[in-house]
Amino acid sequence: MVATKRKPPRSIWMFGLQSDEPTEAQRRAHAKELSERYGMTIELPPIPRAEELRLRAPRIKPPDAIAEFCYQDNYERALHAGYRTGLALRGETLNPPDVVAHPRTEEELERVLEWCSKNGYATIPYGGGSSSVNGVTPPEGWDGIVTIDMDQFDQVLEIDATSRAARIQAGVFGPELEDQLRPHGFTLRHFPQSFAGSTLGGWIATRSGGHYATKDTHIDDFVESVRMLTPMGWWESRRVPASGAGPDPNRLALGSEGILGIITEAWMRIQARPTYRATAGVTFPSWEKGYEAVRQIVQSKLWPANLRLLDPELARGSAGLDGTRALLALGFESADMPQEWPMRQAIRIARENGGQIDDDAILYADSGQYTGRGGAVGAWRDAFIPRGGGLAAGLGTVGGTVETAITWERWPEFDRQVREAFAKVLKEVCGGGTLNCRFTHVYVDGPAPYYTFAGFYRPGLGTQEQAAVKKAASDAIMKAGGTITHHHAVGRQHRPWYDQERPEPFAVALRAAKRALDPNWVMNPGVLIDP
Amino acid sequence: MVATKRKPPRSIWMFGLQSDEPTEAQRRAHAKELSERYGMTIELPPIPRAEELRLRAPRIKPPDAIAEFCYQDNYERALHAGYRTGLALRGETLNPPDVVAHPRTEEELERVLEWCSKNGYATIPYGGGSSSVNGVTPPEGWDGIVTIDMDQFDQVLEIDATSRAARIQAGVFGPELEDQLRPHGFTLRHFPQSFAGSTLGGWIATRSGGHYATKDTHIDDFVESVRMLTPMGWWESRRVPASGAGPDPNRLALGSEGILGIITEAWMRIQARPTYRATAGVTFPSWEKGYEAVRQIVQSKLWPANLRLLDPELARGSAGLDGTRALLALGFESADMPQEWPMRQAIRIARENGGQIDDDAILYADSGQYTGRGGAVGAWRDAFIPRGGGLAAGLGTVGGTVETAITWERWPEFDRQVREAFAKVLKEVCGGGTLNCRFTHVYVDGPAPYYTFAGFYRPGLGTQEQAAVKKAASDAIMKAGGTITHHHAVGRQHRPWYDQERPEPFAVALRAAKRALDPNWVMNPGVLIDP
């Protein structure tokens, strides 16, 4: 008899736990502030409680063999209905799963997947549900939808300290994972923005972007082997440091977004906890000077852990700069040796390109004590951590992010075109808005820029307007040669652009591969590819 | 009217050009030396000349549309009959292609592939033909075999100095490629042992291992995008520094070994030519001390370009050490900054683990002048460059290499088991032999060991005995948890072990993908997967 582990209740309408939700007073204060800013009364919609939601009645019933770990209550179904069920706040009809399964063992997972595949139910593998691209939103047009929530698979099973690797279950959330590695002196050091509300399995399935700004940017680089249940059986790659035997099986699981199977565990490369650190916030007289410096630093192959450039607008808003200067957050870290040398090399290159920083503003630590919380970088770091996401829920604001990657020689023109597209569409849709950009990751051959936009408030703005802005930006990214996503994944939202981006024969191959592994086409249908 | 470029004639019976072939006098001297060593008369078989070979008559005839660039003469057919046609020296029957095409344009390539696919001829994509695993050996059981030699696709088409990338045709040989990059101050720095006789397309198709001993070890890490002709049309991935959009299409082309299509060009990440270098040869009192030091150096993340450890036997044979000490070839390089600091860090770790080197034996250079040709490392480096491969051809010696990768915690026991298997099989088959090991590449989580074996000479040894030794070693590698190949590819030779290694659902997916792209199953049949 396997016991179900109780997890802290999660918010059904915003990213995070119920305990993270803002109070009514906080929400009212925010709506009042917005009302005053725009000189109008902005209504605060009520927060739905799970038991009050009128959801479509479940259309299917789990058989006895799996009933014990399957749920059909409003909380479970609303929580799994999609990203930030704030949707419901805007009066939109939800398309919840009929059943939410929380298998506790691989054998239970086999049972529920067999039931889904045999009966042709859409099957949604679910980690933390933090997808910002509708990657785990149930699709329309199915008579039965089953979401498989992997939250019971939350253990670090094995640590190989010699090889620096660990066997980890897929459903573990970021903080739980770090808590289990910490006593052994290790860390995965994979901190996507969704860290607190996303899981290892989700990171692998979506090729998430992590802590390191250079070199080992995606989760891909830390995967030794993957264990995944497909409708045709278990997929488990051999655990070796590297191989040249045929196309890498791990690389077909990475980014598969649940269409081939459901990941249960992986051997992951882990890190010794860094004790030596060097941190600097370098300012530049312009965006252009900043990104030229970043190009030279990354091409010098010093591989800083942090190399994140903020454009003048973002440096102003989040770090208090004057709006003309760009800010570079530069950092090195090591478990083995002081980082003065690489830092000085990088600072030299930055200064050669107009970068400014006083020598005594470069912070070093050799005891594991982090030194970078002060100054401009610290201010930006705090702004990076998502907070108060719930405050704007239901107010009808238009805003969000797009992210991509582009080679250096095309970058300046690319940036110009994307900004132009944003300016135009924000004007049309919202009467204007704000836009800023930062590099989240940087490669020898180009940056991964991340644009954050916010439209001015107008009554009546909603999903359609949000989509219009996103579409215009995505069109511009595609046209100017970028990828539709560097680390947010494809999901259902990025499909039109993904279909343009991928080579057509690759689509043919992927479609055939999915059909062979998932004959009834039940695994996360609508994501990545259609029959 | 496209002119066919004349290429220097290649040897039909050994790796390299005809101009690399040993003279009769050299061959006689070698046979004599061997005869004296073993106290018997070892016969020297005659070298076949292409025009004397009695090959099976061509069974198919290229139509007019492609005839101009298709060849059916003995030289072309023998050259493309497989790896080191030295086979013929041992009196074995060749299975040559019926037609060898040398398309000069993509349009000509389309024509020949269409002809092959439509008529169901086995189609072998061919770069340099250096495969040591029968990757381009025509398969048995086909009524028509066409080898497509890409040697006319030999140009660097475009250089993007800003992003440090170049668009390069697939059929360019290593030295030709470097010759074209050099005037621009760049280099690919991919030097597999086959460098002189292998091509970019071959490296990509087989995931070859290159210059860098750590971090960017495989060609995989340098591929920005691939252009490949499949029977279903052109596969061209978008050129971006990185993407998180679905499984990476490049990673399905990488290692595809010609079963999905034929690569015509790729955007490759290139390197600024290094000007600063640091080189050291560190000796260790034992193999165990040496590999423990290597583990700590790679886990410190200094990422040396060279970190190659030779076991005492190899250090003795190739660098003149005493047979008890291991030798580490350690090197750093940079186009931007002196490498004293990282070298001193690595030397400190080496010494903490028993490594010995005098401070003044560490060589530095800051003018691009390479300093590592002296001392133990230089001696080893010379031994690494393949020379005189033709001397042993046809003499019936048993010898070769196996290579793999394994995690550190399993490595000592793995090494013990593999050596035990070698000792046993060499005794059985050859009455004994020699064995040595080096690390060609090293990862944070484990080494890529490379074993070189040579059986004692016995009259009558041939292909079967060679295969028996290889089989015993490969079985041991599989059983002890390694991969069947870190960088030699699968080809036809490694198939039995590859089939054990890959996850079965991945095989299902790959089979379906191939069937969808290559409906008549003509592309390099027998490699990687069967229908």
Q: Which of A114, A149, A184 is the last residue of a domain?
A: A149
- Chain position carrying tokens 């312009």: A286
CA distance B258 to chain A (A): 10
* CB interface of A with B, residues 341-400, below 8 Å: 341, 345, 349
Cα A520 to chain centroid, rounded: 29
Residue A527 lies in a domain: no
B501 phi, psi to nearest 5 deg: -75, -45
Domain containing residue A446 = 389-491
Question: Using an 8 Å Cβ cutoff, are A256 and B509 in contact?
Answer: no
Length of chain A: 531
Alpha-carbon span A323 to A312, nearest angstrom? 5
Alpha-carbon span B101 to B109, nearest angstrom? 9
Residues A325-363: tens digit of each pLDDT: 999 999 999 999 999 999 999 999 999 999 999 999 999
Task: State whether B242 and A405 contact (CB < 8 Å).
Answer: yes
Residue A246 lies in a domain: yes
Question: A487 in contact with B at a CB cutoff of 8 Å?
Answer: yes
Q: Looking at this predicted complex, what is its ipTM?
A: 0.96
Residue A6 lies in a domain: no
Per-residue pLDDT of chain B (531 residues; tens, 9 = 90+): 689 999 999 998 888 899 999 998 999 999 899 899 888 888 888 887 888 888 899 999 999 999 999 999 999 999 999 755 565 565 567 899 999 999 999 999 999 999 999 999 999 999 999 999 999 999 999 999 999 999 999 999 999 999 999 999 999 999 999 999 999 999 999 999 999 999 999 999 999 999 999 999 999 999 999 999 999 999 999 999 999 999 999 999 999 999 999 999 999 999 999 999 999 999 999 999 999 999 999 999 999 999 999 999 999 999 999 999 999 999 999 999 999 999 999 999 999 999 999 999 999 998 756 554 445 555 555 555 555 567 877 787 899 999 999 999 999 999 999 999 999 999 999 999 999 999 999 999 999 999 999 999 988 888 889 999 999 999 999 999 999 999 999 999 999 999 999 999 999 999 999 999 999 999 999 999 999
> Do residues A130 and A112 share a domain?
yes
> Do residues B167 and B257 share a domain?
yes
Question: B237 in contact with A at a CB cutoff of 8 Å?
Answer: yes
pLDDT value for A431? 96
Question: A207 in contact with B at a CB cutoff of 8 Å?
Answer: yes
> Does A461 have pLDDT greater than 90?
no
Alpha-carbon span A136 to A128, nearest angstrom? 10
pLDDT value for A44? 83
Please report residues of A whose CB lies closer than 8 A to that of B441.
Answer: 242
Q: Which of A163, A206, A248 sits opposite B408 (nearest CB)?
A: A163
Question: Using an 8 Å Cβ cutoff, are B209 and B217 in contact?
Answer: yes
Q: Which of B163, B245, B247 sits opposite A483 (nearest CB)?
A: B245
* CB interface of A with B, residues 60-119, below 8 Å: none
> Do residues B340 and B248 share a domain?
no
> Do residues A123 and A179 share a domain?
no
Question: A164 in contact with B at a CB cutoff of 8 Å?
Answer: yes
> A389 burial class (0-12, 13-18, 19+ CB within 10 angstroms)?
middle
- The count of other CB atoms within 10 Å of the CB of residue B53 is 17
The DSSP output letter for A338 is -
> Do residues B25 and B139 share a domain?
yes
Residue B509 lies in a domain: no
Give the pLDDT band of residue A393 (cuts 50, 70, 90).
Answer: confident
| Cα distances (angstroms) measured from residue B276 to each of A95, A529, B5 | 61, 48, 38
Task: State whether A505 and B165 contact (CB < 8 Å).
Answer: no
> Do residues B476 and B399 share a domain?
yes
Q: Which of B382, B412, B430 is the last residue of a domain?
A: B382
Alpha-carbon span B367 to B316, nearest angstrom? 32
Residue B124 lies in a domain: yes
pLDDT value for B14? 86
* Pairwise pLDDT comparison (B171 vs A462), residue with the higher score: B171
> Does A91 have pLDDT greater than 70?
no
pLDDT value for A239? 98
pLDDT value for A378? 58
> Do residues B27 and B138 share a domain?
yes
Residue A43 lies in a domain: yes
pTM: 0.96
> Does A127 have pLDDT greater than 90?
yes
Give the pLDDT band of residue A369 (cuts 50, 70, 90).
Answer: low
> Does A247 have pLDDT greater than 80?
yes
Six-digit token string for A326 = 């760009």
Residue B513 lies in a domain: no
pLDDT value for B294? 98
> Do residues B283 and B268 share a domain?
no
> Do residues A264 and A163 share a domain?
yes
Q: Which of B233, B409, B505 sits opposite A230 (nearest CB)?
A: B505
> Do residues B119 and B225 share a domain?
no
Among A337, A345, A479, A524, the residue to mutate for chain B (most B Cβ within 10 A): A337
In sequence order, what E strands does A298-427 have? 306-310, 326-334, 363-365, 399-403
Question: Using an 8 Å Cβ cutoff, are B124 and B146 in contact?
Answer: yes
Amino acid at residue number B111? R
Task: State whether B486 and A513 contact (CB < 8 Å).
Answer: no
Task: State whether B241 and A407 contact (CB < 8 Å).
Answer: yes
Please report residues of B whose CB lies closer than 8 A to that of A228.
Answer: 505
Backbone Cα Rg of chain A: 23
H or E segment to which residue A165 belongs: strand A165-169
H or E segment to which residue B262 belongs: strand B262-269
Please report residues of A whose CB lies closer than 8 A to that of B508.
Answer: 232, 513, 516-517
Q: Which of A231, A255, A272 is the last residue of a domain?
A: A272
Alpha-carbon span A454 to A90, nearest angstrom? 18
Give the pLDDT band of residue A108 (cuts 50, 70, 90).
Answer: very high
Residue A55 lies in a domain: yes
Which contacts of A471-479 are long-range, i.e. CB under 8 A and separated by 24 or more positions? Answer: A472/A421, A472/A422, A472/A424, A472/A425, A473/A402, A473/A418, A473/A421, A473/A422, A473/A425, A474/A402, A475/A421, A476/A417, A476/A418, A476/A420, A476/A421, A476/A422, A477/A402, A477/A404, A477/A418, A479/A417
Please report residues of A whose CB lies closer than 8 A to that of B228.
Answer: 505
> Do residues B401 and B451 share a domain?
yes
- The CATH number assigned to the domain holding A397 equals 3.30.300.330
Cα B333 to chain centroid, rounded: 23
Question: B253 in contact with A at a CB cutoff of 8 Å?
Answer: yes
CA distance A406 to chain B (A): 5
Please report residues of B whose CB lies closer than 8 A to that of A487.
Answer: 244
- The CATH number assigned to the domain holding B254 equals 3.30.465.10
**Looking at the 3D structure of chain B, how many domains does it have?**
4
- The CATH number assigned to the domain holding B133 equals 3.30.43.10
CA distance A386 to chain B (A): 22
Please report residues of A whose CB lies closer than 8 A to that of B482.
Answer: 240
> Do residues A22 and A139 share a domain?
yes
User: Mean pLDDT, chain A, as a whole number?
Assistant: 93
Alpha-carbon span A66 to A111, nearest angstrom? 7
CA distance A106 to chain B (A): 17
- The CATH number assigned to the domain holding B318 equals 3.30.70.3450
Task: State whether A448 and B484 contact (CB < 8 Å).
Answer: no
Instruction: Give me the residues paired with residue B212 across strands.
Output: none
